[in-house]
A and B are shown apart, each in its own frame.
Chain A
Amino acid sequence: MSTTTLPSTYTVYSHLLRADLTTQWRNRRASLLVVLVPTIILLSWKGLVPKFGGAFVLSNCITVGLTAIGLMGYSNTVARDRDKGIFQRLRVAPASNWTIMASRLTVQLLMIVITTLVLFLVGYKFDGITITAGGYVGGLLIAIIGGAVYLSLGQVIVGLIKNPETVNVTTRLVYFAFIMIGMFGELGVLGKEVGEAVKWSPYGTVKHIVSAALTPSTWNEHSWMALLVTLGYTFVFAFLGIKWFRWNTR
C-alpha cells in the first residue's frame, strides 16, 4: 500500500490561523465591544488620572480588557464550536489538538495586543497619560502574561460547563463580578477586607503587575510576588481547564 504524506505542522497551523482570523474578523462587532468597554472606562476615569496616576487608571482598564478577551471572547467561541461539532470535524482531520488550540490562542493573543495598544493610544490622546517607552513595552509584555490568566480561567469555565448558553451567562457573570469587585475593591469602596482580597485575586495581581510594568521604577518585591501569583493562577487554571475539557458535548 502506498505511503501517506503528512502536511507540515506549519502548513496546518497557518491554514487554521487564517480561518480563525477570518472568523474573528467577521465577528468584529463582538470584538469591538471587548475593546469598547475598557476604552469607555478609560475615558470616564480621566478625572482620576491626577489623583491616582496614569499607570493606575491604565492598568485597571487593561485588566478589564484582558478579562473580557479571556472570559467572553475565548471561552464563548470555544463553547460554540464544540457544541456545533466544529472541533470534531477538525479532529478527524490530521490536525493535532494542540495545533487547533494554538491557532485559537494566537488570535486571542492578537486581541490582547490590539486592546492594549488601543488603550495606550486613547490614554495618551484623551487622558494625557504619558508613559516611558520602556513602560509601554513592559506594559504590553505583562499584559500578555496577565491575559493568560483569563484565557486559562475561560478554559476552566468551558471545561466545567458544556452548554454554550450557560457558558455565555457564566462568563458574563464572572466578568461583571471581576470588574465590579475588582475596580471598587481596589478603590477601597467595598471595605478593607475586600480590598485585601482583591489585591491577591486574579484581578488584583494582574492589575498590579501591569501597573508596575507601565512605570518600571515602581517594580518592587510586591510586584515580583504578584507576578508569581499570576503565573500560579495561570498554571492551576490551565491545568484544570485542560484536564476537565472535553472536545464534544455528548
Chain B
Amino acid sequence: MNDPIANSNHTSLVLQVEGLNVYYGAFHAVRGVSFNVRPGEIFGLLGPNGAGKTSTLSAVEGLLKPQSGTIRVAGYSTREQPLYARASMGVQLQATSFQPELTISEIIKLYGGIYGVPLSKEKIDAILSNIKLQDAANKRYGQLSGGQQQRVSLLIATIHEPKLLLMDEPTTGLDPQSRRQLWERIEAMREKGHGILLTTHSMEEAESVCDRIAIIDHGTIIAIDTPQALIDTNRGNPEVIRASRKGKITLEDVFIGLTGTEIRS
C-alpha cells in the first residue's frame, strides 16, 4: 500500500519518497516504499524490528544508497543534490554520539558552522538556557544524563531550523518527564511548520502525537493513514479483534493485528 498523495506533484512537501528499494546483498529490505511528509505534520513510521524502518530512514538521511526510487527533501533530490537535501533536514539518530573530547558549547559551535549558522558565545548560552542546560556548556556529552543528551541531540538536529526533522526512536530510554518534555518540543516544532518523520515502538505515543502513520512490515507499507482512520478501517478485522485486550480497539491492536504476534529478532 502506498501513500495516496505520494505520486501527486506537491512542491510544498518536505519529504517525498517514491518507489524506494533497498537491498542488503540478496535480501530485499525495503520494497517499493512511497510516502510523503507535509509541512507542520508529524508522520510516524511504525513497524516490528527488522521491518525496514531504519533502512528507510537511513536512505532518506543519505547514509545508505537505495538501489532504486527517488527521495526529495524540501524538493532536493538526495541523489542529485545530497548536500542541499541534508542541509534541509535535521537528524536525530538512534544512537547519537559526538566527539567525547569536545564540550557541549564546542559541539554546538561545530554543528552551527557545518549548517552555516554563525553562533556567538552569548547566542550559545541563550540556546542552552532555553533547553535548561545553561550549566552544561563546559561539560562533555558523556557527562550528561540520557534526557540531557537527548535535548542536546535535538538541539543540534534543529539548530538550522530544518524543514524536515528525522527522529529514530527518540524516546527510547527516557524517563516519563524527559519523554513528556521531548514531545512538547516536537509538537512546538510542528506548530512552527516543520515536518517531522519519526519511528517509534510506542503505539500510545504514536497514537497521541502523530498526524499520520505508516505501518511497515517485511519492507512494505501495509497501512497508511491518520491514527483514528487506521483504527476505524481495521475495527472489523478479525486479527485486530483477536489482538484487542481492553475491549476497545487501539492503534497497538491494529499494529499487532496487521503485523502478527510473532516476536521479531
Chain A residue nearest to B64 (CB atoms) is A248
Chain A residue nearest to B109 (CB atoms) is A15
Contact of A4 among B11, B76, B102 (CB under 8 A): B76
Q: Tell me if B177 is interfacial: C-beta within 8 Å of chain A.
A: no
B113 A15 Cβ-Cβ under 8 A: yes
Q: Tell me if B50 is interfacial: C-beta within 8 Å of chain A.
A: no
Q: Tell me if B101 is interfacial: C-beta within 8 Å of chain A.
A: yes
B110 A15 Cβ-Cβ under 8 A: yes
CA distance in complex: A92, B164 (Å): 13
Q: Tell me if B87 is interfacial: C-beta within 8 Å of chain A.
A: yes
* Chain B at the A interface: SS class: loop
A6 B99 Cβ-Cβ under 8 A: no
B111 A93 Cβ-Cβ under 8 A: yes
Q: Tell me if B263 is interfacial: C-beta within 8 Å of chain A.
A: no
B63 A6 Cβ-Cβ under 8 A: no
A91 B63 Cβ-Cβ under 8 A: yes
A7 B110 Cβ-Cβ under 8 A: no
Q: Tell me if A85 is interfacial: C-beta within 8 Å of chain B.
A: yes
The stretch of B89-97, B216-224, B243-251 in contact with A is B89-97
CA distance in complex: A248, B95 (Å): 12
Q: Tell me if B86 is interfacial: C-beta within 8 Å of chain A.
A: yes
Q: Tell me if B257 is interfacial: C-beta within 8 Å of chain A.
A: no
A85 B93 Cβ-Cβ under 8 A: yes
Cβ contacts A1-34/B at 8 Å (1 or 0 each) = 1001111000110111011001100110000000
Q: Tell me if A106 is interfacial: C-beta within 8 Å of chain B.
A: no
Q: Tell me if A40 is interfacial: C-beta within 8 Å of chain B.
A: no
Cβ contacts B128-147/A at 8 Å (1 or 0 each) = 00000000000000000000
B83 A96 Cβ-Cβ under 8 A: yes
Cβ contacts A84-105/B at 8 Å (1 or 0 each) = 1110111111111000000000
Q: Tell me if B69 is interfacial: C-beta within 8 Å of chain A.
A: no
Residues of chain B within 8 A of A23, CB atoms compared: 99, 101-102
B102 A94 Cβ-Cβ under 8 A: no
CA distance in complex: A89, B107 (Å): 12
Residues of chain B within 8 A of A11, CB atoms compared: 113, 116
A93 B114 Cβ-Cβ under 8 A: yes
CA distance in complex: A1, B75 (Å): 8
Q: How far is the CB of B150 from chain A (nearest CB, A)?
A: 14
With contacts A12-B113, A18-B110, A22-B101 known, is A88 near B63, CB below 8 A?
yes
Q: Tell me if B98 is interfacial: C-beta within 8 Å of chain A.
A: yes
Residues of chain B within 8 A of A5, CB atoms compared: 87, 116
Residues of chain A within 8 A of B110, CB atoms compared: 15-16, 18-19
Chain B residue nearest to A27 (CB atoms) is B101
With contacts A15-B114, A93-B115 known, is A86 near B84, CB below 8 A?
no
Q: How far is the CB of B231 from chain A (nearest CB, A)?
A: 32
Cβ contacts A227-250/B at 8 Å (1 or 0 each) = 000000000000000000001100
Q: How far is the CB of B124 from chain A (nearest CB, A)?
A: 14
CA distance in complex: A1, B96 (Å): 29
Cβ contacts A61-96/B at 8 Å (1 or 0 each) = 000000000000000000001001110111111111
Chain B residue nearest to A12 (CB atoms) is B114
B99 A94 Cβ-Cβ under 8 A: no
Chain B residue nearest to A90 (CB atoms) is B114
B residues with a Cβ closer than 8 A to A are 11-12, 14, 61-63, 74-76, 83-84, 86-89, 91, 93, 95-102, 106, 109-116, 163
Q: List 21 A-B contacts (CB under 8 A).
A: A1-B12, A1-B14, A1-B163, A4-B87, A4-B88, A5-B87, A7-B116, A11-B113, A12-B113, A12-B114, A15-B109, A15-B113, A15-B114, A18-B110, A22-B102, A26-B101, A89-B98, A90-B114, A91-B62, A92-B61, A94-B83
Closest 7 CB pairs of A and B: A15-B113, A7-B116, A26-B101, A94-B87, A92-B91, A84-B97, A85-B97
A residues with a Cβ closer than 8 A to B are 1, 4-7, 11-12, 14-16, 18-19, 22-23, 26-27, 81, 84-86, 88-96, 247-248
